[in-house]
Structure 1
Amino acid sequence: MQIRYFAWVRERVGREAETLEVPAAVTTVSGLIDWLAERDESYASAFAERDTIRVALDHEHVEHDAPLAGAREAAFFPPMTGG
């Protein structure tokens, strides 16, 4: 799965994108966040404020309980402000 990170999520992880083999046991966005946060301290820091992180699967905004089945890309970003 292609994983993309934006804004401060990208800064904390230290990269803007990567391709990962997500374990079959990871079936939801929330599970993906949990799995990523366990990878190392930089990911744990990036996902520490999980309730504020927005997610898109294949360019469609979804909730954290959304299933990953069939998704090719997940993007994580903080809330945006307009102006």
Structure 2
Amino acid sequence: MTILLFGITKDIVGSNTLSMPSSSEFGTTGSKTVKELKEYLGKMYPELKKLSSLAVAVNNSYAQDDTVIDNFDEIALIPPVSGG
């Protein structure tokens, strides 16, 4: 599973993309969710947990925590954005 990273998430991880193990290797048994992915990433990269918000897009659409993901979905982490 490849995750696209933007903004501060790219800085925290140190790359534009992140290769993840298959969804069966994180979370509980059965279907994997965005929430389980965020928890897994928070353990691997604790700085991500410090962000005020972190949106996740699955297949070019913003996803809720209960959205089911699989190994072939396009996933992107979208950090908080400030405007001005």
State whether TM-score is above 0.5. yes
Decide whether the 8 Å contact of 2:58 with 2:76 is kept in 1: yes
Q: Give 1:81 shift.
A: 4.5
Query: One-letter code of the match for 2:48?
Result: A
Decide whether the 8 Å contact of 1:58 with 1:71 is kept in 2: no
Decide whether the 8 Å contact of 2:23 with 2:70 is kept in 1: no
How much is the aligned-residue C-alpha RMSD, in angstroms? Answer: 2.1
1:3 lines up with 2:3 in the alignment: yes
Show structure 2 runs of 5+ residues with no match. Answer: none
Show structure 1 runs of 5+ residues with no match. Answer: none
Q: Percentage identity across aligned positions?
A: 24
SS in 1 for 2:68: coil
Query: One-letter code of the match for 1:10?
Result: K
Residue 66 of structure 2: aligned partner: 65
Decide whether the 8 Å contact of 2:41 with 2:48 is kept in 1: no
Q: How many residues are paired up?
A: 79
Q: Give 1:52 shift.
A: 0.8
Counterparts of 1:64 and 1:8 in 2: how far apart (Å)? 21
TM-score (norm 1): 0.75
- Residues 1:48 and 1:82: Cα distance change in structure 2 (over 3 Å): closer
Residue 38 of structure 2: aligned partner: 33
SS in 2 for 1:72: coil
Q: Give 1:56 shift.
A: 0.3
Query: One-letter code of the match for 1:73?
Result: E
